[in-house]
Amino acid sequence: MTNCVLCGRMKPIIEMGCTMARKKIEPIVSLGDESKLTVQKSLPLFSLWRSELTLPEFKILDTYLSRIDSHKPDRRAVRFEKGELEKALGVKKLNAQDLKNRLKHLMGSVVEVSDNSTKRGFKLVTLFEEAVAEQDENGLWQVSLECTQKSMKYFFNIENLGYLRYKLRCITSLTSRYAYVMFIYLESNRYRKSWEVPLDELKIILNCDREETYKEYKRFNDRLMKRVHKELTEKTECQYKYESIKKGRSVVAVRFTVETLPKVSLEDIDHNQITIEQWQGQGETEKEKELWQSAIEDFHFTDEQIETLHEVLICIPECRMPQSIVCYDAIDLRRYHYMCIKVAELKNRKNVKNHFSYLLKMLKQDADIE
């Protein structure tokens, strides 16, 4: 028996979520150096900007992602001390009722994720199946979170989905959901250095397109863009500039220019996956010719075979490529992640004798080429 964090009464440990009997998973409890915790987020999870998740819930999700080993799906339970959550959420004291409400909303949220398995529809999933809150022998509260089995593919072994990495400390101090989404958007497009986005699309990304307050650009700029810029440049490593693009007297787009970050330490890089940072560091020729080819290096195709694959690849409609804000308007990255998915499918087929012919056949099917 213990005091329940959810109601304060003496009762057994409260579990929120799935109550079906199943194998107990030993939770991850070791923190390591908090300042070095890195969030590794798969591309499908970037579509959560469209969800109803609040800023605190995004922070809990990112804290969870920073604690798991993406190559160890059997360790999907993570245990947090209440103080860790308070630090991540940027609050001095998180009371039991507030903790309960936030966890219930996070676990009860059905979110839409974008992946290549739903070309003509949509996919709805719940991210977490269980939250357990309890006190230890010293009276300190701990919370354990565990993702659902259906959502595991977005958390673990995500090499073929593509992902973005960023330091957890960059988002824990943010106080605005707009700033959080803008941070993710800018980091995922950092490799482009400078680009334009239509104003209407930017408002959709920030989830303010239906807000009457932001209908006029002046108010949108004064009340949202300037505040977000101030918060991000003061609290994170994301340094950027933006300017409005006009057509006549109306603002139709926004140009972003992001400063280049220092080189990423080799110990921070997963060599099985090309990250945004690695992509940013490549030369223009490498970007144009070799990014998608890195997905097929294991097969050692000839130059002629690679050229044949390329001729078909460029004919595949963009609607059949991975959809995510991390690949927004970046066809090279989308082709790379598309090829990663196809290569994974190919490697899962054990009896394929001619890898080139089979891969070419898959590409032709998506390109509608006989």
User: Do residues 146 and 76 lie in contact, with contact meaning Cβ atoms separated by under 8 Å?
Assistant: yes
H-helix or E-strand spanning residue 197: strand 194-198
The gap from C-alpha 220 to its chain's centroid, in whole angstroms, comes to 26
Q: Determine whether 211 is exposed, middle or buried from the number of CB atoms within 10 Å of its CB (0-12, 13-18, 19+).
A: middle
Q: What is the spatial distance between Cα 332 and Cα 112, in angstroms, rounded to a whole number?
A: 25
Place of tokens 């087929």: 349
The series of mean pLDDT values per 10 residues for the chain, 370 residues long, is: 38 35 46 68 81 87 89 87 75 78 82 70 85 78 87 84 82 92 89 90 92 94 97 92 95 92 43 44 47 85 91 81 54 78 84 92 84
Architecture of domain 2-172: Orthogonal Bundle (1.10)
Give the pLDDT of residue 42.
85
**Domain boundaries defined on the chain:** 2-172, 190-258, 282-367
The reported pLDDT for the residue numbered 254 is: 97
User: DSSP assignment, residue 102?
Assistant: H
- Written as one letter, the residue type at 339 is M
- The answer to whether the 2-172 and 190-258 domains have the same CATH topology is yes
pLDDT at residue number 88: 72
| Residue 35: predicted pLDDT | 63
Query: Considering the domain 190-258, what is its CATH architecture?
Result: Orthogonal Bundle (1.10)
